[in-house]
Chain A
């Protein structure tokens, strides 16, 4: 049921996420775009689970758990960077280079 529209929405969400990561400067926004991509993938899994079996739904829980962990660590790092440098603009955060 409605597999095509579900996958289409998922693709749109994923493309929005990628575009956000590529185009935005603010680290928080980029972070949210990453989450958007993860959830787009989740939607794909759930949609496909309708026809391919329960495994897709289980994987969604794993992705959510990883996303939560990633959010905790990632937000902590962003907080530390902000305290240290007073900005979250990625163009100003480029100390690690060869």
Chain B
């Protein structure tokens, strides 16, 4: 790499790593020095973001066709397998670099306010810094193993931070669930790597993607297996059907963690991976269809669940799953730029929504604390009318709501629209994509509805917190509101990144990503839509969004809501949705309990205790004992018998020797 600022690319992940080391040391030796922890924790992120901006500006200036690879050191030189620790900078990783460092920096600032009174403050920042390091390793890695390190490391930090308040069992259970489900996906990632090495003989991105079209027969078994196994990894990390159930539980962690890891960055790693490996998915149309189909199904499925959740963070969690599904619909359809665009805008508005929800929970929790009330501070039914207490948060969250619902001119409108348009365009050749498109559209309707419901129940209508608590409700401190407002600004304007041509834009992000995506789009070109059709689709999508918002406004009456402890359980379809289609229960009955049964009754009590302990270990001992018993029968104690045996033995030996 030339001797410019690009040569300092390694410093971007190294800064958060240094922050982790420093804060981790402080957490062990001086956890009470919160000011120093904040300076280090936030400082490294701000520095990393500034450096990332400089690097991306330099990259834009050079605009090279090939990715810039910074080889740091040789990691696994094993015969034909040569794996280096190497970082790669191309337009795609540049986008991710900015998203990760930018959103992380804002959320670190927010955390200073949110976690101020937590005894584990230093540990929290250490783990959050470590997470950013792994996430940057993931987006900058130049080969599959390095990305895998970031991939698994992110999962580790997710586990640590979900279980941050580990004194309560529900939190550690949620952390374990996340970790185990991610491991299932990681297994797919690993197998895909093995297959890639088997067929292409390398694991570096540039060489794999260059070799893939000749090493694999398009649409053949091996490439489909590789792509599907990679996607299995993505379903784990990015919470798609069937491995999505860990994400709602992951909301047990601190809210800024939910915003950073479980909404803006780590869970989008799967989308990044599919976009990065676009060539592989373009070579395996079946796998591409599976990505789009699972994405569309997840988008609709999770959106319907979000309609009837009462926990504010659970609504946002299912909304995240749904939006991730939409991104997979985009990248699965071959619209990589659209998927990454939605990833970017989603990172802004979902981080905003989570941080806003954090402020709301913060306010309600403090109010409940002040009056020693034990109401659930995350339950929508215990809120209401908070717009008076939290005007800034309310305004910013409305911007994010409109963005996510897809109302122009906010960011989500452009990105969501492009994904749906891409799916629709695919439908002309393969009608299955019309179904995916319809599912995406239906999920957009649900999204508009449940977000309006969340806003209505949180900020509007009468206040349900209780008389004593009402006086204690107040806006979060500036250090928390500031990042929320910055994200609000970004959410409002991020759409300009990629305004489509038919709306007078120049699709800047799409052209920026072209060097990365062109290899895949050449293999599987995305059919273009006539501008008129596109405009019609856009109008349709906006109408859907408005219908969702208006419908929620008309159908839901916050005044009729009663606080959670007085509420009666739902009936019928509402109950099915509130119970999340009983998917967790189904998994428990059909997967977890059989596995536990097999482990306990078969593996433990039969294989381990009977077979290994019983027949193996104790059996060998008993065999030796039995042989010893037989031998001991010779020891009669009768000297005469001994002598007879002895003489007989001598005669035998002599006889044999003399013969």
Contacts and interface: CB of A to CB of B under 8 A. Distances in A.
Interface of A: 18, 21-22, 25, 90-91, 93-98
Contact of A94 (B632, B634, B638, B643): B638
A95 B636 CA distance: 9
B17 to A, nearest CB: 68
A98 B640 contact: no
Interface in B618-646: 631-640, 643-644
B640 A97 contact: no
B610 to A, nearest CB: 31
Contact of B633 (A21, A93, A96, A98): A98
A23 to B, nearest CB: 9
Interface of B: 631-640, 643-644, 647
B632 to A, nearest CB: 3
The 9 closest A-B pairs by CB, nearest first: A98-B632, A97-B637, A98-B635, A94-B637, A90-B639, A97-B635, A94-B638, A96-B637, A97-B636
Nearest to B628: A98
Contacts of A94: 636-639
A94 B637 CA distance: 4
Contacts of A98: 631-635
B639 to A, nearest CB: 5
Given A21-B643, A22-B643, A91 B634 contact: no
B633 A91 contact: no
A34 B644 CA distance: 14
Contacts of B631: 98
Contacts of B637: 94-97
Given A90-B640, A91-B640, A22 B647 contact: yes
Contacts of B635: 96-98
A69 B638 CA distance: 25
Nearest to B636: A97
A88 to B, nearest CB: 11
B649 to A, nearest CB: 13
A91 B638 contact: yes
Contacts of A18: 647
Contacts of B632: 98
Nearest to B641: A94
B644 A22 contact: yes
9 contacts: A18-B647, A21-B647, A22-B640, A22-B643, A22-B644, A94-B637, A94-B638, A97-B635, A98-B635
A49 to B, nearest CB: 22
B641 to A, nearest CB: 9
A19 to B, nearest CB: 10
Contacts of B638: 90-91, 94, 97
A51 B568 CA distance: 121
A33 B170 CA distance: 87
A74 B635 CA distance: 22
B8 to A, nearest CB: 81
A51 B401 CA distance: 121
Contacts of B647: 18, 21-22
Contacts of A91: 638, 640
Contacts of B636: 94, 97
A35 to B, nearest CB: 15
A18 to B, nearest CB: 6
Contacts of A95: 637
Contacts of B639: 90, 93-94
A32 B15 CA distance: 96
A18 B649 CA distance: 13
Given A96-B637, A98-B632, 7 more contacts: A18-B647, A22-B644, A22-B647, A90-B638, A94-B637, A97-B636, A98-B634
Nearest to A90: B639
Contacts of A25: 640
Contacts of A93: 639
Nearest to A19: B647
A25 B638 CA distance: 11
Q: Which of B640, B643, B644 has the most CB of A within 10 A?
A: B640
A29 to B, nearest CB: 12
B369 to A, nearest CB: 78
Contacts of A97: 635-638
Contacts of A96: 635, 637
Contacts of B634: 98
A93 to B, nearest CB: 7
Q: Which of B631, B638, B639, B644 has the most CB of A within 10 A?
A: B639
A43 to B, nearest CB: 19
Nearest to A96: B637
B655 to A, nearest CB: 15
A25 B640 CA distance: 8
Contacts of B644: 22
Nearest to A21: B643
B547 to A, nearest CB: 94
B494 to A, nearest CB: 89
A94 B638 CA distance: 5
Nearest to B633: A98
Nearest to A25: B640
B645 to A, nearest CB: 11
A21 B645 CA distance: 12
Nearest to A23: B640
Nearest to B634: A98
Q: Which of A18, A25, A97 has the most CB of B within 10 A?
A: A97
A69 B632 CA distance: 32
A90 B639 CA distance: 7
A97 B642 CA distance: 11
A86 B639 CA distance: 17
Nearest to A97: B637
A64 B498 CA distance: 114
Contacts of A90: 638-640
A20 to B, nearest CB: 10
A96 B636 CA distance: 8
Contacts of A21: 643, 647
Nearest to B640: A90
A87 to B, nearest CB: 13
A93 B647 CA distance: 20
Nearest to B644: A22
B643 to A, nearest CB: 6
A41 B640 CA distance: 22
A90 B637 CA distance: 10
A66 B643 CA distance: 21
Q: Which of A22, A25, A96, A98 has the most CB of B within 10 A?
A: A98
A22 B651 CA distance: 14
A33 to B, nearest CB: 10
Q: Which of B632, B633, B643 has the most CB of A within 10 A?
A: B643
A21 B639 CA distance: 10
B625 to A, nearest CB: 13
A25 B647 CA distance: 16
